[in-house]
Amino acid sequence: MLHEEIERYVQLMKSRLWWYGDFDYLSGSFLRRCFKFYLKIRWFSILLLFFATCVGLSSTEFMGLYNGMFVYSPLVFSMFVQIALITYTGEQQSVLTISLNNYFLRHNEPWMNNMRKKLTAPLWRTVTFFMRYNLSIVILYMVVPLILDTILHFGFDSIKSPLVLPLPLNSFYGDDKWNVKFYTILILNWWSVMELTTTIQGPVVHFAVLSCYFQTEMQIFTEKIKMLELDRGSQEDIDEQIRTIVRSHNNLIELNRNLKSVFGLPCAFSSIFVPIFLTLSLFTSLMSDDMAVAVSYGSGFILNFSTGILYCSLGQRLENESEELFRALCDIPWFKCAPSLRKSLNMMIRQARTPLIVDYHGRSKMNLVTFMQILRSSYSYFTLLQSMSK
C-alpha cells in the first residue's frame, strides 16, 4: 500500500522516465517493452551521443566555443553521468521510497497529514512551474525555428539555408539542405534535446521531492518532541515516551543514510558540472552576435543557476531543520527519565549534533556554502575564458 504522497511521486517519476526502482510497470504491450529496453540501454545511447558530439566539435572552428556548440560536450557527459548513476542506484531508489512510504504510513495522525500537505504544497507548485518552464524553452528553441524555416523556405523560397539554433549534432549537417539527411539529423537533435530536458529536470525533481519529504518527517519528529508530556503520568509512561522518541530518531538516521546513498554522489557531481554550465552559457550569451543564440543561452544560464540554487537551498533547509531538531532534543528533561534510559537519550543527543543532510562522505554538502563555492568557481572559469578569447 502506497501513501498518497509517495504514489504521487512515483507516478511523476515514471511519467518522466526517471524511475529506476523496478520496471514491472513497463510489462505488457510492445510499446511498454520498448520503453523498458530503452531505459536499460539509455546510458549507452547517451554515451554514443557524447562521442558523436566530440567528433562533431573536432571539425568545428574553435571547437564551437563562440557559436554555442562547445557547451554540449560537458552537458552530454553530465547526462551520461546522471543516467549511469541513477541506473546504478536504482535499487537504493526503491529502498528509499519504501522507507519513506513506511514512515508516512506509521505517522498518519491527522495533524501529521495536515502538516505534510501544508509543507509539500509549495514544492509541488514549484515542480509544476519548473517542468512547464522547461517545456516552453524546448518549444521555443526547437519548434519555432522549424516552423519559420518551413514557411520561409517552402512558402516563400526566401532563405537559402535552414534556420537551426546550436544543437549537439549540428556539425554533421554539412552543406545538406532540406533533404533526408537534414531531417534525420534534426530528429536526432530533437531526441537529444528531449533527453537533455529530461536529464535536467529528472534529478532536480527527484531530489526536490524526496528531500522535502524527508524534511517534513524531521519537522514532524521535532513537533513530537515538543509535545512530550513528561510532567504528568507515571514513570512507566514517561519512559515509554522516551523509548518511542529514541526509536523514531534511529529510524530518521537510517532514512537519512538511504537519502545519502541515492543523492550523495549525484549531488557531488552536480556541484562540479553546474559551474561549468553557468560559465559556458554566460560566455556564449555575451559573445554571440546572434540575438536568438544570446537569448537562448541567457535562458540556459537562468535555468542552470536556478538548478544550482534549488539543490543547495533545499539542502540548507535540511541543515536548518537538523539544528532545530538538536535544540528540541537538548530541551528534553532527561533527569525525569529512568537511569537505564538516560544513556540512550544521551547517545541520541550526541548523534543529533551531526546534521541530517545530503553529502558524499562528508564532502560536497548541499547547502548555501556550496552554492557560493559554485559561483566562485563559475566566475574563475569565466575570467579564464575571457582572457583566452582576447
The pLDDT tens digits for 176-193 are 678 888 888 888 988 888
Q: Write down the pLDDT at residue 176.
A: 67
Query: 121 falls in which pLDDT band (50, 70, 90)?
Result: confident
The pLDDT tens digits for 234-284 are 777 777 777 888 888 888 888 888 888 888 888 888 888 888 888 888 888
Q: Write down the pLDDT at residue 295.
A: 78
> Exposed (0-12), middle (13-18) or buried (19+): which is 2, by Cβ within 10 Å?
middle
Task: Write the DSSP assignment of 33-95 as a string of letters.
Answer: HHHHHHHHHHHHHHHHHHHHHHHHHHTSGGGGTTTT-TTHHHHHHHHHHHHHHHHHTHHHHHH
Query: 335 falls in which pLDDT band (50, 70, 90)?
Result: low
Cell numbers for 79, please give them: 547526462
User: How far is the C-alpha of 345 from the C-alpha of 329, rounded, in Å?
Assistant: 9
Q: Write down the pLDDT at residue 73.
A: 85
User: How far is the C-alpha of 196 from the C-alpha of 156, rounded, in Å?
Assistant: 33
Q: Write down the pLDDT at residue 336.
A: 66
